[in-house]
Amino acid sequence: MLAFAGGKGGTGKTTTALAFARELSAARTHDGRRRTVTVVDADVDMPDVHAMVGVDRTPTVLECPRGRPAPSLSGVRVAPAPPADATDAFERALSELRAPDGTSGDRNATGGRSRRCVVVDAPCGGGPDAARPLAAADGVVLVTRPTPAAVRDTAKTAAMARALETPVVAAVVVGDRPPRALEDVLGAPRVVTVPVVDDDPLTAPAHRAAVGRLCKALRRGRHLFTE
């Protein structure tokens, strides 16, 4: 389970999480299996993942934890955010989704086993709603714009993840990479730059190529997505 998190809204976090889920699903394992990737919307106050991919707002992750297929993203399922007052039930749902071996009994169209992974789109800020998905995840991918203010806020998210003992596994900079190395600023072992595009990022080749590099970098990591 990977949480995509950031200090400010409007950085491209949700788009990056969805694009990453698509690339991860498309990358087969060494034995030819495909992954089923569920994107969970953890922003209970301003949920928007379902709207971005054309999935109904209900049922939520509480009733359908593995989500429903996103029409425009092959291999991706979306689980909309629960009601804001369902804190305990949401924590249980995240815990159940975080399968120890990352596998499910689902079979894909080819009849082989699929490897299930979960991407959580975490809300911004430093409150309990933002901390909950970070605590549940195996790793955190930080998403930020290259401005000093955005980087400062994202550094706070990185510190919160470390306080919860969840490692920061990567950082994504949406736009030009800032001159100061973010590996040290955010404590991220790898930084990937994703371009800002005028059209829909999910259909832009340059955006997809950049997110593909992020996916490959994390798949090479020994602590995540080992084959």
Where are the strands (E) in the chain, listed by range? 2-5, 35-41, 68-69, 76-79, 103-107, 113-121, 139-144, 168-174, 191-194
Type of residue numbered 139 = G
Plot region of 67 (φ>0 → left; ψ -120 to 50 → alpha; else → beta): left
Q: Which pLDDT score, from 0 to 100, does residue 9 have?
A: 87
Question: Phi and psi (nearest 5°) for 191?
Answer: -130, 130
Residue 219 has pLDDT above 90, yes or no: no
Residue 23 has pLDDT above 90, yes or no: yes
> Which residue, 47, 34, 217, is CA-closest to 139?
217
Higher pLDDT, 59 or 182: 59
Yes or no: domain 2-220 corresponds to CATH 3.40.1440.10? no
Length of the chain: 227
Q: Which sequence spans correspond to the domains of the chain? A: 2-220
Tens digit of each residue's pLDDT (9 = 90 or more) over 69-87: 999 898 999 999 999 999 9
CA distance 151 to 110: 44
Question: Phi and psi (nearest 5°) for 101?
Answer: -105, 0
pTM of the model: 0.89
> Which residue, 12, 3, 1, is CA-closest to 143?
12
Tens digit of each residue's pLDDT (9 = 90 or more) over 132-185: 999 999 999 999 999 989 999 999 999 999 999 999 999 999 998 765 678 888
